[in-house]
Amino acid sequence: MSREPFHETATNEFAERVRTNQQRLRSEVKPYYDFIVCGSGSSGSVVARRLAENPDVDVLLIEAGGNDDVRSVMEANQWPLNLGSERDWGFIDQPKPHINGRAMPLSMGKVVGGGSSINAMAWARGHRNDWDFFAKEADDSSWSYASVLNLYRRMEDWHGAPDPDYRGSGGPVFVQSAPDPNPIAPAMVEGARSVGIPTFESHNGRMMEGTGGAALIELRAREGRRLSAFRTYTFPFMDRPNLTVLTDALVTRVMLDGSRATGVNIVYGGRTQRIGARLEVVLSLGAMHTPKVLMLSGIGDATELRKLGIPVVQHLPGVGQNFQDHFAMGCGNTMAPCIVIGERAGEMLRDSHRI
C-alpha cells in the first residue's frame, strides 16, 4: 500500500487509527522482531520507515522518551521550551578553560523524533569534505558527496528559488528558507561579509563545497508547525501492523552471540526485558547513548571496559572518543536564523562586537 508524502496535517481519522493500532501493538510486545531500531531520532525514524515499507518484516522502533504531541514540540516558535524539559536528556559538558570555566549544556532529544523534535529546525547538509572522507574510509563511493547529493535532491521538497543542481522537489522532506527572518539575521550575514567571510544564497548548496561562509538558515517548519523526522517518516506508517513504536523504553545493552547481535535488553514498564532480533539490531541512539550502549555491551576500549568490570567482547578504542559539537550564534533570547561555518567563523565570533 502506498501513501502520499505525509507532512504535519494528520487527519483526526488517521491519528485515531495510529493510536488504536499502536495501543494494540504495545500491549502485545513480541519476544522477537525481524529488525530492532534503537532510537527514534533523525536516523532511527528514517531507518524504521524504510524497513517497514516491506510488509513482510516486523519492525520494532524503541524510544526512551515519550510522545511528541505537545505544544512545545509541534509549534515551531515554542522550541526553546523543550530545552531543559523532560524531553531533553540534559547532558552537561565538563568545564572548559577556553570559555572561562563554564560547563555548556548539551541538549539532546528524549522524545520521539529525538533532536529533530526539540531543535531549532535547521535543515543542514554535510560538507563535501566530510562525505568524501566517509567514502574514502569505507572504500565505498556511495558515501561520497556526489552520491549523497543525489539522495538529498530525491528526498527534498524545496520551496524556494529553483536550483536543479542542488535542490529537489516532490520528496517527503519539506524545506524552505526562513519565511520571516528577524532583521538581525541579514545583518549577521552582512557582518560576516564585512570581515571577509563569503556569503551565499543557501548554506546547502555551494557553501557546502568550499571553505565556509554565511547564509540565512533553511527550516523544517511549515505554517508555524515543526516538521520532525519522526512526523515526516515514521508517523505515516504507524497505522500498519508491522511497525511497533515502543516509547518510554530504555535500551541498556545489545545481546550478543559471539560477535553477532541477537537482540537488546530494555527497561520498559518498570522491568527489564529481552527482545530478540531475527535479522538486525540498528543503534541510532545519538552521539552520547550509542557509544554508551556499545560499551555496556562490551564493545569499546578494553582498558576502560575492564575498569568498569564489563567483559570485553571487542576492543574498539574509538568508541566514545572524538566527540565534536557545533557552535551557534544567538542574539538576546532568540537565535537569529543565520549559519556561519568555516575557517574564519571563529574570527567572526571574536569580532562579533562589530556586528
Geometric angle at alpha carbon 193, from 191 and 199, rounded to 5°: 120
**Given this model, what pLDDT does residue 341 score?**
55
d(CA 150, CA 147) in angstroms, rounded, equals 5
C-beta of residue 171 within 8 angstroms of C-beta of residue 154: yes
d(CA 64, CA 266) in angstroms, rounded, equals 9
d(CA 303, CA 83) in angstroms, rounded, equals 35
141-156 residue pLDDT tens: 999 999 999 999 999 9
Residue 202 has a CB neighbour count (10 Å cut-off) of: 23
d(CA 334, CA 330) in angstroms, rounded, equals 6
Name the more confident of 327 and 57: 57
Instruction: Name the band, by pLDDT with cuts 50, 70 and 90, for residue 284.
Output: very high
Q: pTM for this structure?
A: 0.88
C-beta of residue 212 within 8 angstroms of C-beta of residue 200: no
**Given this model, what pLDDT does residue 325 score?**
72
C-beta of residue 37 within 8 angstroms of C-beta of residue 47: yes
d(CA 228, CA 100) in angstroms, rounded, equals 35
Average pLDDT estimate for 242-267: 97
Chain mean pLDDT for the chain? 89
Q: Cell for 65?
A: 522518551
5-22 residue pLDDT tens: 444 445 789 999 999 999
Write the CA distances from 141 to 134, 172, 209, 350, integer angstroms.
9, 25, 17, 38
Q: What are phi and psi of 36, to 5 degrees?
A: -120, 120
**Given this model, what pLDDT does residue 342 score?**
52
Does 326 score more than 70 pLDDT?
Answer: no
- The end-to-end CA distance of the chain, in Å, is 53
Q: Cell for 118?
A: 526539540
Range 313-327 burial, b when 16+ CB lie within 10 A, else e: beebeebbeeeeeee
